[in-house]
Amino acid sequence: MNSPVLQNLELIGQGKVRDIYAVDNDHLLIVTTDRMSAFDVVLPNPIPGKGEVLTELSEFWFSKTAAIVDNHLTDDLNLVDLLDSADQLDYFQKRSMIVKRLKPLPIEAVVRGYLIGSGWKDYQATGAVCGIELQQGLEMASQLPEPIYTPATKAEFGEHDENISYEETINLIGEELASKVRDTAIEIYNFGVNHAKERGIIIADTKFEFGLDNDGNLFLIDEVLTPDSSRFWSIEEYKVGISPPSFDKQYLRDYLETLDWDKTAPVLSCQRM
């Protein structure tokens, strides 16, 4: 899948973008590749350096949000000791995270601050987003009065994520934990929004993932506020009524929407990518 594979560690998971290796009973190695996905489909053309950008951004936000919730990063181990050879360091160093081995929750914590994407389509059809009623007369890209929490299932590789209600998350993980995940996700989103706003960027929406340790403590895991998990817009270019230019992969989704395809990977030219 367009990325080197370590031979001396067990590859226990391979997602749309990340490869996950077992280090020991307490640690994992997560490698963010240059693979590109859209609509839950991995495309054939990687984007050079993409994995390094996602990793650097995630590490930045993990650090910034540590006062809100613990995260899975750990400095217990040295990356070079986990590689097959020192020659691999150039590829793996800037795209790898050694993390605590936790139990991921079976939901994605989606927070929306603006009416765009599938939320806009849902609103046009029902006047609501994922069952949350909104006021009439909103336009594409309208800012919502308050961010809304619209969780989704975390699909297996090759499957599609599905929006679920907050009540369904209670059935999955219990009321206390569901409430904590919702409130924590909104708090992280609001923190990120304020930080980005000072730098001329709107974070329209995002998704987070969480996990638990053996004592039931909550941790932020996976990635945080990256172009793969979020929509970023320029404040200067933002307008209601259009889909604003994005600093993320929305431009790719828009292109794919123009194709007559069956959600299997189309062959894209390097110029397109």
| In a shared domain, residues 128 and 193 | yes
The region of weakest confidence among 81-95, 103-117, 133-147, 228-242 is 81-95
187 within some domain = yes
| In a shared domain, residues 78 and 141 | no
Interval 52-82: pLDDT, tens:
999 999 999 999 999 999 999 999 999 999 9
Give 135: exposed, middle or buried? Use CB within 10 Å, 0-12, 13-18, 19+.
Answer: exposed
Give the total number of structural domains in the chain: 2
CATH number at residue 65: 3.30.200.20
Q: Is the pLDDT of residue 158 over 70?
A: no
| In a shared domain, residues 48 and 142 | no
DSSP state of 102: -
Greater model confidence, 60 or 44: 60
126 within some domain = yes
pLDDT at 220: 99
The region of weakest confidence among 83-87, 172-176, 186-190 is 83-87
Query: To the nearest whole percent, how much of the chain has pLDDT over 90?
Result: 78
Our CA dihedral for 114, 115, 117, 121, rounded to 10 degrees, sits at 170
| In a shared domain, residues 245 and 154 | yes
**What mean pLDDT is reported for the chain?**
92
pLDDT at 159: 63
| In a shared domain, residues 63 and 152 | no
Greater model confidence, 113 or 44: 113
| In a shared domain, residues 215 and 171 | yes
pLDDT at 268: 56
Contact 112, 152 (CB under 8 A): no
Domain coverage including residue 38 = 10-101
H/E stretch holding 124: helix 118-126
Q: Mention every residue, 6+ apart, whose C-beta is less than 8 A from residue 46.
A: 2, 3, 33, 34, 35, 36
Q: Is the pLDDT of residue 184 over 60?
A: yes
| In a shared domain, residues 228 and 167 | yes
pLDDT at 211: 99
Report field, pTM of the whole predicted structure over 0.75: yes
For tokens 């993932």, what's the residue?
209
Contact 245, 232 (CB under 8 A): no
| In a shared domain, residues 112 and 17 | no
- The neighbour count for residue 163, using CB atoms within 10 Å, is 17
Q: Mention every residue, 6+ apart, whose C-beta is less than 8 A from residue 151.
A: 107, 108, 109, 110, 163, 164, 165, 166, 168, 169, 181, 182
Instruction: Report how far residue 235's alpha carbon sits from residue 237's, in angstroms, rounded to the nearest whole number.
Output: 6
4 within some domain = no
CATH number at residue 111: 3.30.470.20
| In a shared domain, residues 92 and 126 | no
User: Of 83, 101, 119, which residue is a domain's last?
Assistant: 101
Instruction: Report how far residue 18's alpha carbon sits from residue 33's, in angstroms, rounded to the nearest whole number.
Output: 6
